[in-house]
Structure 1
Amino acid sequence: MKRKFTIASIFLLFLLIVSSYTIFFRSQQPLVQAEKEAKIIAQELAGIEDVKDFYWYNGSEETYFTVEGFTENLDHFYVVIKQDGGDTLLLDADAIVTEEEAKSILQAEKEPFKILEARIGIETEDPFWEIAYKNEDGSIGYFLISVYTGETIREYENI
């Protein structure tokens, strides 16, 4: 009796692990597919050979994917791709505020407890860095910084 219970428990545990893995894998497919397609576009548009990062921005109106990377000549670019329609924007990293610089601006202005992530987004044709951060009290904030000037565009606090 005890042996049947042990075998049944092991089988159920195995089934749970396989099911969890399957659900997780399937939930990641849209992200993996979007990243794969965005890398191809970035390679064709800007000659990006070495991808450094991939960003996914869900805006109020549109969704954008951004590929950050380097060309064969080590030129550093961000390629921003609109999900619907495929419109693209090529940003030279030497001419804009980079992710690290945007995080430094946030740190200097807000002194957050922890910076969670940053991504490039576009609203009304203007690209910006959206930086998510956490305060000491556990609240979340979003800080939007122009990629061209580094000026604060908008803030959302205490979420």
Structure 2
Amino acid sequence: MKKVIIGLVLTLSVIIVGAIYVYQTAHAPYAQAEQETITFLKERTDLNDVKDFYWYNGEKTTFTVRGSNESDEEKYYIVKPDGGTVITLDVAETLSEQNARKMATDATDLKRILDAKIGLMEDTPVWEVTYKNENDRLGYYIIDLKTGEWMRSVDNI
């Protein structure tokens, strides 16, 4: 009986260590992109304190950081990795994540929201709300970050 318990403990230990390794390996590109983007922004902008990081893969990949500057003004810093261009927006002048999620919920037959992130679509800052619909299929609801206007929906993917 002792050998069985030791065998089970060893097996569970290997499974747990393996799961941790797989998670860290899968998460490494995200963590690296986040760190590199924050470092880039702190060197080139007035970013002082980081609150959120968004990785958007639409037409082109963009990285967005929500943070504050030394004057405690909250801003979005949207970075285009292909040229290093930074677009800075005042958070107070944009649609909040909570409102973007509510708009997607009100406009679609969704079962649950998976994620909301900021990116660029045709050089327009947008919220992309990712959700699962009633059929358990993936959908996207895209809203203009500045005006709150609906731009595009993609459903049943």
Q: Cα distance 1:106–1:6, how it changes in 2: closer, same or farther (>3 A)? A: closer
Q: Structure 2: how far apart are the matches of 1:15 and 1:85?
A: 44
Gaps in structure 2 of 5+ consecutive residues: none
Gaps in structure 1 of 5+ consecutive residues: none
Q: Cα distance 1:7–1:102, how it changes in 2: closer, same or farther (>3 A)? A: closer
TM-score, with structure 1 as normaliser = 0.84
Alignment match, 2:101: 103
Contact 2:109 2:134 in 1 (8 A): no
Alignment match, 2:149: 151
CA RMSD of aligned residues (A): 2.1
Q: Structure 2: how far apart are the matches of 1:76 and 1:102?
A: 18
Between 88-97 and 103-112, the greater mean CA deviation after superposition = 103-112
Pairing 1:105-124 to 2, within 5 Å after superposition? 105-110=103-108, 112-124=110-122
Q: Structure 2: how far apart are the matches of 1:66 and 1:7?
A: 48
TM-score, with structure 2 as normaliser = 0.85
The alignment covers a number of residue pairs equal to 157
The answer on 1:48 being equivalent to 2:47 is yes
Q: Structure 1: how far apart are the matches of 2:101 and 2:113?
A: 8
Alignment match, 1:69: 67
Alignment match, 1:32: 31
Alignment match, 1:130: 128
